[in-house]
Chain A
Amino acid sequence: MPESASRPEAKPEARPMIEIRSVTRSYGPFKALDDANLTIREGEFFSLLGPSGCGKTTLLRMIAGFDNPTTGSIHIDGQAMDGIPANRRPTNMVFQSYAIFPHLNVEQNVAYGLKRQKLGASEEKRLVEEALGQVSLSGLGKRGATELSGGQRQRVALARALVMRPKVLLLDEPLSALDKKLREQMQVELRRLQQAVGITFILVTHDQYEALALSDRIAVMFGGKIAQVSSPKEIYQRPVNRQVADFVGGMNFMKGEVVEVNGSAITLDTAGFGRVRTDKPAGFAANGHATLGIRPERLRVLWDDAKASHEVAGKVVERHYFGEITQLVVEVPGFEKPLSVTETNNFGADDLPVGAQIRLAYDPDALVAMAD
């Protein structure tokens, strides 16, 4: 997934909008969320990424006020949310099921929350029109809720939440019910919308590409714990452990013996790549072992006489064609497991026969050390 060049990092000096302080949510002996600490900044597009059951939805529902922490506290815009019910929180939610009121039309759905604010008919109408415009639904105001397509229902849910001008917009897997094309289109629109309105967005998703493409920062969660909080690039290129690396994309893993830990650098001995010096993973406890990894697309096939400063040679044992790319499985002497390599189909990787002897170039900077 290429980095979008136009993504401005949320300014580090932006003030905290959401603070999760030592929040635990237990159901009997089971901890759905275990001592989570997190700060989400104003104006940030933040994603909670993880497999189902990792606690991401529990955390989102506690921010919204549908659930309460067993211990710990949640602050929104500097205010403790203890005991404040959902209807008095400055957050609005786009539900996974969209939760469009079926007995109301599009306009009435969008105006639902405004009704309580007693703005007057003309002001209310203006805001509803504006919100419908933002989600490209102008002119569909009179449409009944049951006559909408999945994509339209999603837009109504968005407009209904945005019209409230929340400090934080919460999105609970909003794109999971849409088909692939529509999902990709809505991703672009969501990102554009967030930049236009400047509201803090918190997205819950299990789709790593969605999180990488949309977010300023991502929290990757497993089993009720937050494993890593970083920018998409950092998460993808410098995962802190094997689990994170595995969840956000393909990775070739190999065992490493720790030779030396020196400040922020670590030196490992591996069977395949030999002695490697790289960044020390965050929170690494020196126990003699670490995992070294390299993403499949960071291995490059060397054609003909091309030379590279770092290369390994091996034999193609499998080839999988995916249209724009080909995945090769290459057996390299000295490595415990064959290496997975993805190569764009510009140079004929799709024509490499199984059994071919090839050479692979790699950049030592692409090697990443991780906790096991």
Chain B
Amino acid sequence: MKRLLSHWLPAYAFLYIVFLYLPVMFLPIFSVNASHVPKFPLTGFTWKWYEELPRTPALLDAAWNSLMVGVTAAILSTILGICAARAITRYRFRGRTAASGLIMAPLVLPEIILAVSLLIVMLSLGLKLSLFTVVLGHVLICIPYSVTVLNAGFEGFDRSLEEASADLGETSFGTFRRVTLPMVAPAIISSLLVSFTISLDEFIMAFFLAGTDATLPVYIWGQLRFAAKLPSVLALGTLLLVGSFILLTIAEMLRRRAERRVHGVATHA
């Protein structure tokens, strides 16, 4: 049995990974295929779908919208995340567990339900659907990720470091600037990158809350109706994929660095 398992487990793992990532790999492959139709055999190599992208004004608008929404949502969710993570890691208060549970809830709530509820709330509040409402939706789903990343950065931050700074004559603001911020900066940048990436790729919230201004995923959804546009959608999708991958890799590296910085000293003592 053990022998069987040790033989077949690698094979299973291999198949699993193929099933998971092969479809994703088709995206870049078909995006440089000369044919309009995404199927084998490939007909020839071309960059033309990529070259078409910057010549499509609707796409550029959508990209700009996504950038604005992503940056704003990342900043807002990181600021809120800093407050939450600081409270959770620093203070022991009544309802602390409940509060951190509620913050994490959007991770497991069906996104479409969240989106519809938000739509109803915003309409009944009389808010006009716009990129701003998309930002609000995105902040909601980014916060759990921000808080997770920031918690790791803040956890184990020795309170006496801030006291030592005050003791050496520094003001509260100076202490924040010279001690707290540098210690948690990697975690903050990591949170910004993760939130931005999530906002950039997010479809359902944007679809319900965007009004007339489309973000990139909403634009892609719209383009899928036209078979002729498929290759450029694939090209765009490839770019998004690569961009997200790079941003998340940087974010993870920074998160680990933040953890080392905060915990490194403790392990030495």
| Chain A contact residues, CB within 8 Å of chain B | 64-66, 85-88, 91-93, 95-103, 112-113, 116-117, 145-146, 148, 150, 153, 160-161, 164, 177
Task: Report the nearest B residue to A64, measured CB to CB.
Answer: B167
- Knowing A86-B163, A95-B160, A177-B269, the reply to whether A116 touches B169 (Cβ < 8 A) is yes
CB neighbors of A among B170-197 (8 A): 170-171, 174, 178-179, 182-183
Contact A145 B167 (CB under 8 A): no
Interchain CA distance A113-B264 in the complex, whole Å? 23
| Chain B contact residues, CB within 8 Å of chain A | 158, 160-161, 163-171, 174, 178-179, 182-183, 261-262, 264-265, 268-269
Task: Report the nearest B residue to A146, measured CB to CB.
Answer: B264
Contact A102 B167 (CB under 8 A): no
In the assembled complex, the CB of B186 is this many whole angstroms from the nearest CB of chain A, namely 10
Contact B182 A103 (CB under 8 A): yes
Contact B163 A97 (CB under 8 A): no
Contact A102 B163 (CB under 8 A): no
Contacts of B268 in A (CB 8 A): 146, 148, 153
Contact B269 A95 (CB under 8 A): no
Interchain CA distance A159-B166 in the complex, whole Å? 16
Contacts of A153 in B (CB 8 A): 268-269
Contact B265 A95 (CB under 8 A): no
Contact B261 A103 (CB under 8 A): yes
Contact A102 B261 (CB under 8 A): yes
Contact B264 A95 (CB under 8 A): no
Task: Report the nearest B residue to A153, measured CB to CB.
Answer: B269
Could you give 5 example pairs across A and B, Cβ below 8 Å? Answer: A65-B167, A93-B163, A97-B158, A101-B179, A148-B268
Contacts of A85 in B (CB 8 A): 166
Task: Report the nearest A residue to B263, measured CB to CB.
Answer: A102
Contact B169 A113 (CB under 8 A): yes
Task: Report the nearest A residue to B179, measured CB to CB.
Answer: A101
Contact A97 B169 (CB under 8 A): no
Contact A146 B167 (CB under 8 A): no
Contacts of B264 in A (CB 8 A): 102, 146
Contacts of A64 in B (CB 8 A): 167
Contact A102 B168 (CB under 8 A): no
Lowest 9 A-B CB distances belong to which pairs?
A113-B168, A99-B164, A99-B160, A102-B265, A86-B166, A87-B166, A146-B264, A95-B160, A93-B167
In the assembled complex, the CB of A82 is this many whole angstroms from the nearest CB of chain B, namely 17
Interchain CA distance A73-B191 in the complex, whole Å? 45
Interchain CA distance A85-B168 in the complex, whole Å? 11
- When the two chains form the complex, which single residue of B158, B160, B168, B269 contacts A92, counting CB atoms closer than 8 Å? B168
Contact A92 B167 (CB under 8 A): yes
Task: Report the nearest A residue to B181, measured CB to CB.
Answer: A103
In the assembled complex, the CB of A277 is this many whole angstroms from the nearest CB of chain B, namely 51
Contacts of A87 in B (CB 8 A): 166-171
Interchain CA distance A93-B265 in the complex, whole Å? 19
Contact A113 B170 (CB under 8 A): yes
Interchain CA distance A87-B168 in the complex, whole Å? 6
Interchain CA distance A103-B165 in the complex, whole Å? 13
Contacts of A88 in B (CB 8 A): 169
Interchain CA distance A103-B170 in the complex, whole Å? 17
Contacts of A160 in B (CB 8 A): 164, 168
Contact A112 B265 (CB under 8 A): no
Interchain CA distance A228-B16 in the complex, whole Å? 74
In the assembled complex, the CB of B238 is this many whole angstroms from the nearest CB of chain A, namely 39
Contact A101 B269 (CB under 8 A): no
Task: Report the nearest A residue to B262, measured CB to CB.
Answer: A102
Contact A97 B171 (CB under 8 A): no
In the assembled complex, the CB of B68 is this many whole angstroms from the nearest CB of chain A, namely 33
Interchain CA distance A165-B158 in the complex, whole Å? 25
Contacts of A99 in B (CB 8 A): 158, 160-161, 163-164
Interface centre among B166, B168, B265, by most A CB within 10 Å?
B168
In the assembled complex, the CB of B37 is this many whole angstroms from the nearest CB of chain A, namely 56
Contact B160 A97 (CB under 8 A): yes
Interchain CA distance A101-B177 in the complex, whole Å? 13
Contact B183 A103 (CB under 8 A): yes
- When the two chains form the complex, which single residue of B158, B168, B262 contacts A112, counting CB atoms closer than 8 Å? B168
Interchain CA distance A92-B170 in the complex, whole Å? 12
Interchain CA distance A145-B262 in the complex, whole Å? 12
- When the two chains form the complex, which single residue of B168, B170, B262, B269 contacts A150, counting CB atoms closer than 8 Å? B269
Contacts of B165 in A (CB 8 A): 101, 112
Contacts of B166 in A (CB 8 A): 65-66, 85-87
- Knowing A97-B158, A101-B179, the reply to whether A116 touches B170 (Cβ < 8 A) is yes
In the assembled complex, the CB of B184 is this many whole angstroms from the nearest CB of chain A, namely 10
Contacts of B158 in A (CB 8 A): 97, 99
Contact B265 A145 (CB under 8 A): yes
In the assembled complex, the CB of A149 is this many whole angstroms from the nearest CB of chain B, namely 8
Contacts of B163 in A (CB 8 A): 66, 86, 93, 95, 99
Interface centre among B169, B171, B179, B183, by most A CB within 10 Å?
B169
In the assembled complex, the CB of A58 is this many whole angstroms from the nearest CB of chain B, namely 14
Contact B265 A100 (CB under 8 A): yes
Interchain CA distance A148-B163 in the complex, whole Å? 21
Task: Report the nearest A residue to B161, measured CB to CB.
Answer: A99
Contacts of B168 in A (CB 8 A): 87, 92, 112-113, 160-161, 164
Interchain CA distance A10-B166 in the complex, whole Å? 30
Interchain CA distance A88-B166 in the complex, whole Å? 9
In the assembled complex, the CB of B193 is this many whole angstroms from the nearest CB of chain A, namely 20
Interchain CA distance A116-B174 in the complex, whole Å? 10
Contacts of A96 in B (CB 8 A): 160
